[in-house]
């Protein structure tokens, strides 16, 4: 359940930002979770919802943006949707590929009052 | 960054400074202050990834664009650990595995083999108890125990604090034995030179497919308990094939910490890594 400590890190980031830019309330936080990031998005969202109580994120809408994995085949350079690290190229069946997208795990933005 | 500890509020963990006390009758009342955040031994400038957050108006309020990696604080501390290790010429290995793969036994035997020629210290991570640090100290190396409470992994901040207390010698080897867990420690860079994943032959050769993140982020895979191979349905070839389908550059050593079979290859690998850091 590392999602709990990751959620705590999000609270820290929100606290740090709201100290830099004084805001009356954070209305929404957008978080990008890549499919190959190693984060279970549902568990992470539940953990974050739990932790927002009595924090600067209390009452804020939590918006999770899922990014699918993409890979580039080492052999034929084809870019393809990658559902796992074991995925081989759909065109030439070659392996391995370079992971291009899907490892993102970041706070994208806040909507504040 | 660490998780909720059984003893109190979120963000608490306990470091047992084993090298200075052997009184194991303590009762863990935890009334001391755990608020050590930012008590680092390195210079750091607190510059975070985002420069000046861009903001613009939105129909429901003002939007502040951040684009901050959620692991950025851990990664920054890991980088500081890495610089500290480089400055002191400490070669650091992070050992990860599921519980019961034999990490501590491997370390005991490794200390036995290397202590004549190398200075070694160990950071032990477990949810509870000082048992592993006790075993390491008995094997002859200074050890410090981090108890993560209910936390499932070590993070760079815990290692930073443990390293301050452990104070590893110049030109030495530091082993970090992570919490037994094949999932959570994968995401947390500790500042190690190399990550070593341990799997034992009693676990099943499909484990790399079930826990791809750990095998993807490791440099070396030790296949332990090879003495039990005749008694279990475990194919080392299949394990290697599965793991390489996730991480083509992963190295493998098959060994038995109990009988000593294959241990010389592991020792050679460590010596090679150590020489590379000097």
Residue B161 has pLDDT above 90, yes or no: yes
Residue B11 to chain A, least CA–CA distance (Å): 8
Domain borders along chain A are 2-112
Dihedral sign, Cα of residue B105, residue B25, residue B120, residue B114: negative
- The confidence score (pLDDT) of residue A1 equals 65
E strands of chain A, at which residues? 26-34, 61-67, 70-73, 79-81, 97-101, 105-112
What CATH number is given for A2-112 in this structure? Answer: 3.30.2320.80
What stretches in chain A show pLDDT beneath 70?
A: 1
Residue B57's region, left for phi above 0, alpha for psi from -120 to 50, else beta, is beta
Residue B204 has pLDDT above 60, yes or no: yes
Q: pLDDT of B55-93, one tens digit each?
A: 777 777 899 999 999 999 999 999 999 999 999 999 999
Q: How many CA atoms lie within 13 A of B135 on its CB side?
A: 15
Closest CA to A105 of B192, B209, B72: B72
Q: Looking at chain B, how many residues does it have?
A: 278
The β-bridge relationship of strands A70-73 and A97-101 is antiparallel
Please give the residue that has the higher pLDDT: either B244 or B54: B244
Element (DSSP H or E) covering residue B55: strand B54-58
Residue B68 to chain A, least CA–CA distance (Å): 5
- The confidence score (pLDDT) of residue B9 equals 45
Residue from the list B11, B64, B155 with its beta carbon closest to the beta carbon of A109: B64
Section B248-270 average pLDDT: 97
Using the beta-carbon criterion (under 8 Å), do B64 and A112 form an inter-chain contact?
yes
**SS3 state of residue A101:** strand
Distance CA A58, CA B76 (A): 27
Q: pLDDT of B112-139, one tens digit each?
A: 999 999 999 999 999 999 999 999 999 9
Closest CA to B68 of A97, A90, A77, A17: A17
Q: With contacts defined as CB-CB under 8 Å, which chain A residues touch B69?
A: 105-106
Residue B101 to chain A, least CA–CA distance (Å): 20
- B51 near A CB under 8 A: no
CA dist B195 → A33, B90, B182 (Å): 24, 15, 13
- B238 near A CB under 8 A: no
Report residue A78 as tokens.
Answer: 């084809």
- B188 near A CB under 8 A: yes
* Residue partners of B220: CB distance under 8 A and separation at least 6: B194, B195, B196, B197, B250, B251, B252, B253, B269
Q: pLDDT of B3-53, one tens digit each?
A: 333 333 445 689 887 554 444 444 444 444 444 444 344 444 444 444 556
Report residue B91 as tokens.
Answer: 């070669």
- The confidence score (pLDDT) of residue A95 equals 83
pTM of the predicted structure, to 2 decimals:
0.85
Residue from the list B1, B63, B212 with its beta carbon closest to the beta carbon of A109: B63
Task: Confirm if B143 and B133 have CB atoms less than 8 A apart.
Answer: yes
């Amino acid at each position: 359940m590392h999602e709990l400590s990751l959620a705590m890190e999000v609270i820290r980031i929100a606290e740090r930002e709201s100290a830099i830019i004084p805001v009356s309330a954070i209305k929404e936080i957008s978080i990008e979770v890549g499919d190959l990031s190693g984060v279970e998005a549902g568990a992470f969202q539940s953990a974050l919802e739990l932790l927002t109580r009595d924090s600067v994120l209390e009452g804020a809408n939590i918006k999770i943006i899922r990014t699918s994995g993409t890979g580039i085949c080492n052999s034929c350079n084809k870019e393809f949707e990658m559902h796992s690290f074991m995925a081989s190229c759909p065109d030439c069946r070659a392996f391995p590929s370079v992971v291009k997208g899907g490892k993102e795990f970041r706070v994208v933005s806040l909507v504040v009052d | 960054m660490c998780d909720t500890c059984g003893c109190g509020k979120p963000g608490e963990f306990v470091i047992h400074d084993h090298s200075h006390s052997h009184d194991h009758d303590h009762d863990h009342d935890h009334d001391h202050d755990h608020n050590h955040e930012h008590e680092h031994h390195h210079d750091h400038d607190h510059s975070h990834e985002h420069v000046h957050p861009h903001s613009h108006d939105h129909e429901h309020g003002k939007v502040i664009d951040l684009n901050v990696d959620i692991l950025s604080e851990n990664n920054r501390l890991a980088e500081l650990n890495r610089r500290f290790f480089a400055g002191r010429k400490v070669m650091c290995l992070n050992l990860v595995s599921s519980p019961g793969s034999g990490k501590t036994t491997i370390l005991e035997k490794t200390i036995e083999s290397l202590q004549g020629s190398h200075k070694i210290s160990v950071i032990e991570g477990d949810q509870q108890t000082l048992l592993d640090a006790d075993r390491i100290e008995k094997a002859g190396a200074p050890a410090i125990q981090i108890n993560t409470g209910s936390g499932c992994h070590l993070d760079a901040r815990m290692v930073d604090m443990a390293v301050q207390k452990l104070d590893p010698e110049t030109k030495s080897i530091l082993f970090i034995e992570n919490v037994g867990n094949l999932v959570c420690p994968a995401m947390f860079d500790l500042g190690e030179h190399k990550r070593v994943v341990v799997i034992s032959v009693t676990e099943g050769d499909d484990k790399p497919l079930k826990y791809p993140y750990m095998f993807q982020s490791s440099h070396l895979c030790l296949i332990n308990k090879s003495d039990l191979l005749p008694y279990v349905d475990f194919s080392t070839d299949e394990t290697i094939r599965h793991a390489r389908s996730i991480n083509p550059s992963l190295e493998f050593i098959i060994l038995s910490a109990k009988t000593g079979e294959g241990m010389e290859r592991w020792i050679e690998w460590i010596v090679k890594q150590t020489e590379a850091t000097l």
